[in-house]
Structures are given as structure tokens and as C-alpha cells.
């Protein structure tokens, strides 16, 4: 078992809080720009694909973040295989990539299946300050 697997195993073993089940909103090429521009809160966009194993490992954390930050940020998903225009516009070269928007502008991005606590740190430092 590698370090990557150990990190995700530890997070999977942690007890889950009783949070409401909130699914991240799915964005598309046709809706993403308007959604981000009109958003009243910061937006996190998880860029993923069906075949991507690290994306699948990250998905439960993204769902938990959607519940934890409900009412503070929008947590969304963008399937890069089905939405090539936005993937190209934001230069998505590796997945998973998470894009972080504030006031309609891209403020930062992370690449790779980061542990949930790392994503939370970026949210707190870049989106909620």
C-alpha cells in the first residue's frame, strides 16, 4: 500500500459527521461561465472524468465538502470528457483538477487527488478570506 492509498484509507476510516446529503452541481460547457459569473458565493469546480481512478477517490471528499460548505461556497463538478470547451479554456491538462473561483475570477487551482484537509485549507485561505 503506497502513501497515496494510506492517506485515502485514513480519511475513509474517519467517522462521518451527520451532514445533509447535498450533491455537487454538474456544470456543462453551456452553463459554466454564466454560473461562475452570476454566483453569489465562491465556486469550487472539480474537473474529473469517468475513467479517472484518482477522481473517483476524490469524489466522496467533494461530496462531503458540498455539505460542509453549504451556504458558503458552491461545490460543482465538470466532466472534462463531455465538456471539452471549458477544459480547454481553463487548460485542464491533468485530472483531477480543482478550480477555485471568487467574484467570478479564477483565484487558484490544485491538481491531483489531494486529501480533504488540503482542499479545505485552500477553501479557507483562498475563497473564504
Q: Which residues are catalytic?
A: 52, 55
Contact between 32 and 25 under an 8 Å Cβ cutoff? The reply is no
What are the strands, taking DSSP E only, across 1-129?
25-27, 43-48, 74-79, 97-102, 105-111
Instruction: Look up residue 102 and give its three cell numbers.
Output: 471568487
Amino acid at each position: 500500500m503506497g502513501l497515496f492509498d494510506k492517506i485515502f484509507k485514513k480519511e475513509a476510516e474517519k467517522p462521518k459527521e451527520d451532514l445533509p446529503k447535498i450533491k455537487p452541481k454538474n456544470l456543462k460547457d453551456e452553463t459554466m461561465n454564466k454560473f461562475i459569473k452570476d454566483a453569489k458565493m465562491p465556486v469550487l469546480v472539480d474537473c474529473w472524468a469517468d475513467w479517472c481512478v484518482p477522481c473517483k477517490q476524490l469524489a466522496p471528499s467533494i461530496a462531503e465538502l458540498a455539505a460542509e460548505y453549504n451556504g458558503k461556497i458552491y461545490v460543482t463538478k465538470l466532466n472534462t470528457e463531455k465538456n471539452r470547451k471549458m477544459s480547454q479554456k481553463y487548460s485542464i491538462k491533468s485530472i483531477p483538477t480543482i478550480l477555485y473561483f471568487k467574484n467570478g475570477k479564477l483565484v487558484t487551482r490544485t491538481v491531483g487527488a489531494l486529501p480533504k484537509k488540503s482542499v479545505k485549507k485552500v477553501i479557507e485561505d483562498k475563497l473564504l478570506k
